[in-house]
Amino acid sequence: KITRADFMQALANDIKPAFGVSAEDFELYIRNGILLWSQTIRDVLEEGHLRINQTIKSEMTPLVTILLEGKPNSGKTALAAKIAMESGFPFLKFCSPQTMIGYTETAKCESIKKIFNDAYKSELSCVVVDDIESLLDYAPIGPRFSNFVLQTLKLLFRKLPPKGRKLLLIATTSEKDIIKEMGLMQSFSKVIHVPNVSRGVEILQVIEQLDCFSKKELDYLSKELRNKSLSIGVKSLLDCIELSKQATDVYRTAKFLSALEEIGGLHDGDY
């Protein structure tokens, strides 16, 4: 038998608002936090704050659009979610290809349009359009993509919200050149580069903040990594750390270094 208590329980736990903020969705994308491994990450967040303020304060720009661009695994989605959450806007929505798996082109366009139309109903909104190239079904062989979705995004990225409404749009991509070729680049007021971790000292920043190695291991890694270079996305770096945790104590640092070599091409010097 369903009682009032069940109903209240469902209301509190199971029922999500149709529009408005669902903060837990956003937190999912920042599962491992945001590590400040270099000044550039602070700069990305700072640029985000600037654009949030611009959306709130400027009379002339009711639509502010930013694109976070970087290699796969560099942390674009997490940074976009972080900036969106920090806006504190009453309407936040995540538009992700993962929630549209198996959709037809038409269904995809309808569901993207709905997100924007819902956003226009709030005075201040922030919409994240994650992984644009996947949303477009982009495939490098061919190359192929959905022109229907492309035209929809193009229109939505330029459409001004109704009078008195403001929208901050944050998009992400790993395919900056493709986005440019498709003519989507002009839609953005600011393009922000999300860098890969590229220096040994930056790795040390990450592992110190995570507290994942003992003091002795840290000392050793510090010596090994100090003058090294590589290129690895923060998401892959976290994977390497997880992997090394599975090794027995004596092999842990060796496992970590070999993973960095394999995935990030860790090598001596030159920076």
Contact footprint for ligand ATP (CB under 6 A): 30-35, 37, 41, 72-79, 131, 174, 234-235, 238
Closer residue to Mg ion, CB minimum distance, 45 or 247:
45
Query: How many of the chain's residues bind Mg ion (CB under 5 A)?
Result: 1
Q: Least distance to ligand ATP from the beta carbon of 96, Å?
A: 10
Q: Least distance to Mg ion from the beta carbon of 263, Å?
A: 17
Closer residue to ligand ATP, CB minimum distance, 161 or 233:
233
32 contact choice in ligand ATP, Mg ion, none (CB below 5 to 8 Å, kind-dependent): ligand ATP
What is the per-residue binding string for Mg ion in 68-97, x denoting contact by CB under 5 A? Answer: ---------x--------------------
73 contact choice in ligand ATP, Mg ion, none (CB below 5 to 8 Å, kind-dependent): ligand ATP
Closer residue to Mg ion, CB minimum distance, 65 or 77:
77
158 contact choice in ligand ATP, Mg ion, none (CB below 5 to 8 Å, kind-dependent): none
CB-based contact 68:104 (threshold 8 Å): no
Residue with smallest beta-carbon separation from Mg ion = 77
Q: How far is 75 from 36, CA to CA, in rounded Å? A: 12
Angle in degrees, CA 262, 268, 271, rounded to 5: 110
- Rule CB under 5 A: say whether 236 interacts with Mg ion: no
187 contact choice in ligand ATP, Mg ion, none (CB below 5 to 8 Å, kind-dependent): none
Q: How far is 170 from 131, CA to CA, in rounded Å? A: 11
Q: Least distance to Mg ion from the beta carbon of 80, Å?
A: 8
Closer residue to ligand ATP, CB minimum distance, 177 or 219:
177
Q: Least distance to ligand ATP from the beta carbon of 135, Å?
A: 12
> Within 13 Å of residue 8, how many CA atoms lie on the same side as its CB?
3
Closer residue to ligand ATP, CB minimum distance, 31 or 159:
31
Closer residue to ligand ATP, CB minimum distance, 74 or 122:
74
DSSP assignment of the chain: ---HHHHHHHHHHTPPPSSS--HHHHHHTTTT-----SHHHHHHHHHHHHHHHHHHH-SS-SEEEEEEEESTTSSHHHHHHHHHHHH--SEEEEE-GGGGTT--HHHHHHHHHHHHHHHHTSSEEEEEE--HHHHTT-BTTTTB--HHHHHHHHHHHHPPPPTT-EEEEEEEES-HHHHHHTT-GGG-SEEEEEPPEEEHHHHHHHHHHHT-S-HHHHHHHHHHHTTEEEEE-HHHHHHHHHHHHHS-GGGHHHHHHHHHHHHH--EE---
64 contact choice in Mg ion, ligand ATP, none (CB below 5 to 8 Å, kind-dependent): none
Q: Least distance to ligand ATP from the beta carbon of 103, Å?
A: 19
Q: Footprint of Mg ion on this chain (CB under 5 A)?
A: 77
